């Protein structure tokens, strides 16, 4: 039997979805699932549910539970990662500390202070998983769902394992496009490329006809624009539609969450549309509601059709050779010509029996690549900080964040990062005993005179112009 290790299987509903997808795939019916999490409280619920499904549908699959990661990985053919280091406790700090400083995040798992600190907690762990895979299952493929996808994928791209980062932003955005242009999703031909949560639909067609004119027309109508104001504004000004929703996208750029006025104009939608701390508040609500309940106890045991998640389709392609095309995240390595080779890029990939393969996109429109680079700059520094444990690099990463830099000074950013490192020390062992340097405000007495600085002769002409102006 093929062995699928799910690291972070305590994400019960998501784990259930992926397992059902594989069980509903004829070529994958005889799969051994090994569910791993630090506690068996949730994984035992998933296993009980899975056993009901297996029995009800006469499947050959098997399910086991462990708290030992190495035991789960030993001999695995596929490794699915879906964990969150620090849980809701760390997530709360990611959101509430920056908010006190004036950085208002909606989701906080991809960029911004929340995304950077999630990366600092996550990258050392995912690299440990990769090292264990190199030893215990060197031919296995990792299918990663852990955020921040681009930063985690960047770190994985520097290892020797075969991996791919998976997200459902492209699939769900196609649902929206389909509804706006009134063309069935299955009939839309498209090319999407960029970085995770900031991919661009470079081509949208139906039977050879460009759908962009109709999509642009609809976004000028209030009843359509109102659903996706942030994404609509970026579309109007940058010319291409993006894979990420208003709530997420509002965090990755400097224009929509920097002031109460901007929030009122663009981020007034409920829940994940843009509400402050929407993802944290929803997660806290779910955690409270189901703290003592089995989420899967009342779930039907019949096999549903496969979901929109790519995981089962990719494993089916790797197992059977049936080619599957999808949007995924890999080390760029030339897939997108005007993004850095070492960054984690999202673009059109395909899987078959020989592995997972990039396709060559070429160059993004320059304005799209430029906006991607504002995020890639943060990602590079955050990955470096996570691996090095250098607190100064954390300050620099957060200082480059478009949203944070639109509302805070460098001194305020340094103070915020210091507080976050102290508050999250239990999940950040690489920073033990290390904090950013303190930079006090330099007092300037009222009667202080400026120090005499000799003027470069090449610049003297500018000084002379100043004198003439007076």
Task: State the pairing for strand pair 209-210/141-144.
Answer: unpaired
- Summarised one tens digit per residue, pLDDT across range 92-118 is 999 999 999 999 999 999 999 999 999
Question: How distant, in Å, are the alpha carbons of 1, 89, 111, 115 from that of 262?
Answer: 55, 29, 19, 22
- The pLDDT tens digits of the residues spanning 276-334 come to 888 888 888 877 877 777 778 888 889 999 999 999 999 999 999 999 999 999 999 99
Can you give the pTM of this predicted structure? 0.92
The dihedrals phi and psi of 162, each to the nearest 5 degrees, come to -85, 125
Can 206 be counted among the known catalytic residues? no
C-alpha dist (Å) from residue 88 to 92, 140, 257: 6, 30, 23
Active-site residue identified among 95, 180, 240, 252: 252
pLDDT > 70? residue 463: no
- Does 280 or 459 have the greater pLDDT score? 280
Per the structure block, which two tokens stand in for 278? Answer: 């929407």
Q: Model confidence over 238-272: pLDDT tens digits?
A: 999 999 888 889 999 999 999 999 998 998 765 45
Annotated binding site: 147, 167, 197
Q: Which of 168, 206, 225, 290 is catalytic?
A: 168
From 282, 359, 370, select the one nearest 91 (Cα to Cα): 282
Token reading at 75? 């001999």
Question: What would the mean pLDDT of 444-457 be, rounded to a whole number?
Answer: 77
Binding site per annotation, positions for Mn(2+): 167, 197
Question: What's the CA gap between 66 and 50, in Å, rounded?
Answer: 15
168 classed as catalytic = yes
Annotated binding residues for substrate, written as ranges, equal 147
What structural domains and CATH numbers belong to the chain? 87-106+167-426 (3.90.1820.10)
Q: Using CA atoms, how far apart are residues 9 and 66, in angstroms rounded to an integer?
A: 10
Give the mean pLDDT of 126-141: 97
> Which carries the bigger pLDDT value, residue 10 or residue 182?
182
């Amino acid at each position: 039997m093929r062995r699928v290790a799910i690291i972070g299987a305590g994400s019960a509903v998501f784990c259930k979805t992926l397992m059902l997808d594989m069980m509903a795939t004829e070529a994958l019916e005889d799969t051994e699932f090994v569910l791993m999490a630090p506690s068996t409280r949730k994984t035992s619920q998933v296993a009980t549910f899975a056993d009901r499904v297996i029995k009800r549908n006469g499947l050959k699959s098997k399910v086991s539970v462990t708290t030992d990661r190495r035991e789960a990985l030993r001999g695995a053919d596929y490794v699915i990662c879906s964990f969150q280091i620090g849980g809701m406790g760390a997530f709360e700090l990611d959101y509430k500390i920056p908010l006190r400083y004036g950085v208002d995040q909606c989701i906080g798992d991809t960029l911004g202070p929340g995304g950077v600190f999630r990366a600092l907690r996550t990258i050392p762990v995912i690299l440990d998983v990769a090292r264990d895979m190199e030893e215990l299952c060197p031919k296995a493929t990792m299918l990663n769902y852990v955020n921040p996808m681009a930063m985690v994928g960047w770190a994985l791209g520097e290892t020797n394992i075969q991996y791919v980062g998976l997200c459902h932003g492209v699939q769900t955005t196609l649902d929206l496009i389909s509804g706006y242009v009134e063309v069935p999703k299955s009939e839309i031909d498209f090319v999407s490329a960029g970085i995770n949560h900031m991919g661009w639909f470079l081509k949208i067609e139906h039977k050879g006809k460009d759908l962009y004119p109709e999509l642009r027309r609809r976004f000028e109508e209030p009843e359509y624009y109102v659903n996706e104001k942030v994404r609509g504004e970026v579309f109007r000004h940058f010319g291409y539609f993006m894979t990420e929703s208003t709530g997420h996208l509002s965090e990755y750029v400097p224009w929509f969450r920097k002031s109460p006025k901007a929030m009122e104009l663009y981020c007034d939608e409920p829940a994940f549309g843009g509400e402050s701390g929407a993802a944290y508040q929803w997660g806290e609500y779910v955690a409270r509601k189901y703290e003592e309940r089995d989420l899967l106890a009342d779930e039907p045991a019949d096999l549903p059709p496969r979901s929109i998640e790519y995981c089962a389709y990719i494993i089916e392609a790797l197992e059977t050779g049936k080619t599957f095309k999808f949007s995924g995240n890999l080390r760029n390595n030339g897939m997108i010509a005007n993004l850095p080779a070492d960054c984690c890029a999202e673009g059109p990939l395909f899987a078959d029996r020989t592995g997972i393969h990039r396709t060559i996109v070429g160059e993004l429109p320059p304005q799209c690549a430029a906006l991607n680079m504002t995020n890639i700059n943060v990602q590079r520094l955050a990955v470096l900080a996570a691996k090095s444990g250098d607190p100064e690099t954390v300050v620099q990463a957060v200082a480059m964040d478009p949203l944070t830099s639109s509302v805070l000074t460098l001194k305020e950013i340094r103070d915020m990062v210091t507080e976050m490192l102290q508050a999250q020390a239990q999940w950040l062992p690489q920073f033990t005993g290390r904090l950013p340097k303190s930079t006090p405000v330099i007092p300037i007495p009222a009667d202080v005179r400026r120090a005499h600085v000799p003027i470069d002769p090449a610049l003297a002409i500018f000084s002379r112009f100043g004198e003439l102006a007076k």
